[in-house]
Amino acid sequence: MENIIFHIDVNSAFLSWEAVYRLAHKGGTLDLRDVPSAVGGDIALRHGIILAKSISAKNCGVKTGQSIPEAKRQCPSLLLVPPNYGLYEECSAAFMDILREYSDTVEQYSIDEAFVDMTSSCHLFGTPENTAEEIKDKIRDTLGFTVNIGISDSKILAKMASDFKKPDLVHTLYRREIPRKMWPLPVTEMFFVGRATAKKLFSMGIRTIGELAAADPAWLKAVLQKHGEIIWGFANGIDLSPVLAQPEPNKGYGNSTTVPFDVTDAGTAHKVLLALSETVGNRLRSDSAKIQVVSVGIRYFDLSYFSHQRILDSPTDLTMEIYNAAKELFLEFWDGRPIRHLGVHTGRAKKDDSGRQISLFDELDYEKLAIVDRTVDTLRERFGTDSVMRAAFLNQPIDHMCGGISREKRTVDYDKVTVL
């Protein structure tokens, strides 16, 4: 085999990590993985969705991304626990550290999964299958949670293999095994095939991955554009993307937040946009990057979504410049309906600073704003996020640096939580 690629995926990651922590550190006696349970957000804050579920909860029909009331209707005995992203980040880091003991080329694909290129190091440990078993068992015995590992010569096939029967198993999906192991599967199991794409494929008479692989790629492209070519290639095991030890540079930065109440006035919306611009600007400066496109997204009370964008005259990382653009965009297309969710996103990110195009009509002192931003970043890094806050957020229900993972999801006060 030319390449040896592993895809390692933590089984029910958030729930597994929560279960292990409660058993090992909080005196818990009930393993959340053994009962119908799930990690879910706070309905009161309108973050009420299922983030992870146990296998028995899945067997009851509970799905990731499902609303908590709906999940409760399908599984009345469902045990819900709050999310703790700080814990999950620690568990993820420990998981990645073990993978790096086996290869120098580890690509973290998400918080709970990674690709590992074992081509040049697998011979040090044994056959691919034996090496995968060793990694799987070491993670379980050292960290207390289980993983699935898929083995192939490409990333897409390794990922497909890791999604086979779970938990705590190793699967192969070599090219010669595609007809037997992958093609009989429903097309909905194909990576990159979401609900909308699946619906179109069904209308075309394509219901299995094998039927997708046998379809005319020109026909698929005509109906699904470039996406059709991509999924046809995946269905045939075609994937030339390498495992990247260093992530590719971000093409854009963004944050969004679901507000605990419906926003019905521009003033409150502006505060949310300012808070989001604070976090986006901070991330840009932390990465020494600048952007030239700003977009604003609005999700209304009825869950309909609209967005609008603008190209700036010069690349920027300044909080106030991002905010001013976001505020103007918002006023251009908000139709006055109650708002549930707001987002500020950016594009055309670059790390090389080509300087600013000077304009006679500029009223902003960009150098002064840059000094203020850098000073505030330094103070927050040293003394905490809340050490410096704009006066506009005093005694306000809007978090002055909202977006991304909210505060209530970053940690859990276990003294206020019943640990069974």
| Cis amide bond preceding 249, omega within 30 | no
- Told to judge if 367 belongs to the known catalytic residues of this protein, a careful annotator would answer no
Which one, of 237, 257, 4, 227, lies nearest residue 118 by Cα?
4
For 137-158, b/e burial (b = at least 16 CB within 10 A) is: eebeeebebbbbbbbbbbbbbb
Find the catalytic residue in 18, 107, 113, 278: 113
CA torsion sign, 399 to 401 to 405 to 411? negative
Whether 52 and 40 have beta carbons less than 8 Å apart is answered as no
Secondary structure element (H or E) that encloses residue 292, with its range: strand 291-300
- What's the CA gap between 151 and 158, in Å, rounded? 5
- For residue 26, which phi and psi values (nearest 5 degrees)? -120, 15
CA distances in angstroms from 250 to 245, 291, 413, listed in the order given: 15, 10, 34
Beta strands in 192-272 (DSSP E): 254-263
Residue positions annotated with a catalytic role: 113
